[in-house]
Amino acid sequence: MVSTKTNDCHTIGGFYGVNGKKLQRHFRDYLSDFKEWKQKSHAKQWLLYPENIGPYLSIDETALSKGELYTIITNKKAKGKKGALVGIFKGTKADPIIAQLLKLPSSVRDKVKEITLDMAHSMKHIVRVCFPKATQVTDRFHVQKLAIEALQELRIKYRWEALDQENEQIKQAKDKDYMPVIFPNGDSAKQLLARSRYLLYKSPDKWTPNQKERGQLLFKEYPLLKKAYGLVQALRNIFNQNIDIKIAYTKLAHWYKEVEESGFKSFQTVANSITLNYRSILNYFINRSTNASAESFNAKIKAFRAQFRGVKNVEFFLYRLTTIFA
């Protein structure tokens, strides 16, 4: 990749004694076929490579530049390499994306047997209209993420309460030196809640010794957090088991009942979301497909963007991206 630093002898520009920006501009305008790129006229709105369509696809959204979202369809078989990119579409609105995809013959679109996606209605609508023969599989990690966010919401609630309590105690102490209650591991209540963030993302068997001690103190002091953490772990365990759809359906029904009995409002929202998407969620247990390939591809785009030090010319960025991945 060409650097803009002219004094760096380890870059191509530095090696040849050429200004990095000029070399990059020269490559764009003369050395590459960017100006003759057939898809250049509509690149900012959509790019489509029907030859890369295969039986197993992923659809996801990512930010290319300044938070602008693009919808990306990738082929799982390519494993993030040449031929992975099927299409890039500006925005997440379903209708403009559907309009472009429907230009492809139905014989091409009917090749798709399965598509992994998140719970966004727009994504489901795109797949339902454009790939009617494909099985929709809701990504298990998006489902688990909702449950984790519900757990973290409860932790943050307790943290704000601990902050308010400490502030009030400091006011009451007036001129006296205030000393908060310190737990055996050296944390105060607000520190215990703040520092427990990452351990709540992990299973107990993956906790470090310090996290194990902190987790035990946390659950002893805040038993409702322990109960909520148990719900997260129970949901994770369902997806980790090698079971069929019927058994998974039963286990999810039991989990839903536990959520109802817990009284956690945020978890009830998670359970309702699962109920509304249960068919595509249960489809995970057919081939155990996830959207991990799409997330991996998004990470590659971010790394590619970092090499460019941001995206100044969107068309050229997309040209380089499709040259490598399409």
Render each residue's pLDDT in the chain as its tens digit; 326 residues: 434 343 443 455 555 555 556 656 555 555 566 676 777 788 888 889 899 999 999 999 888 777 788 899 999 888 878 888 899 999 999 999 999 999 999 999 999 999 999 999 999 999 999 999 999 999 999 999 999 999 999 999 999 999 998 888 888 877 677 778 899 999 999 999 999 999 999 999 999 999 999 999 999 999 999 999 999 999 999 999 999 999 999 999 999 999 999 999 999 999 999 999 999 999 999 999 988 887 887 777 777 777 666 666 777 777 777 877 76
What is the structure's pLDDT at 8? Answer: 42
Question: What is the side-by-side strand order in the sheet with 68-75?
Answer: 46-48, 85-90, 68-75, 56-65, 114-117, 135-138
Pick from 232, 226, 223: which is nearest to 259 by CA?
232
Residues 200 and 269 in one domain: yes
Residues 144 and 275 in one domain: yes
Number of structural domains in the chain:
3
**pTM for the model:** 0.81
Domain enclosing residue 25, as ranges: 1-31
Residues 232 and 264 in one domain: yes
Report residue 9 as tokens.
Answer: 């002898």
What is the structure's pLDDT at 241? Answer: 93
The CA-to-CA distance between both ends of the chain, in Å, stands at: 19
Residues 186 and 207 in one domain: yes
Residues 227 and 265 in one domain: yes
Pick from 221, 222, 228: which is nearest to 262 by CA?
228
Residues 59 and 191 in one domain: no
CA angle 262, 266, 270 (to 5 degrees): 95
Residues 59 and 83 in one domain: yes
Residues 148 and 238 in one domain: yes
What is the structure's pLDDT at 181? Answer: 85
Residues 146 and 275 in one domain: yes
Q: What is the SS3 assignment for 11? A: coil
What is the structure's pLDDT at 4? Answer: 39
Q: Are 168 and 115 in contact (CB under 8 A)?
A: no
CATH of the domain at 135: 3.30.420.10
Residues 187 and 316 in one domain: no
Residues 129 and 201 in one domain: no
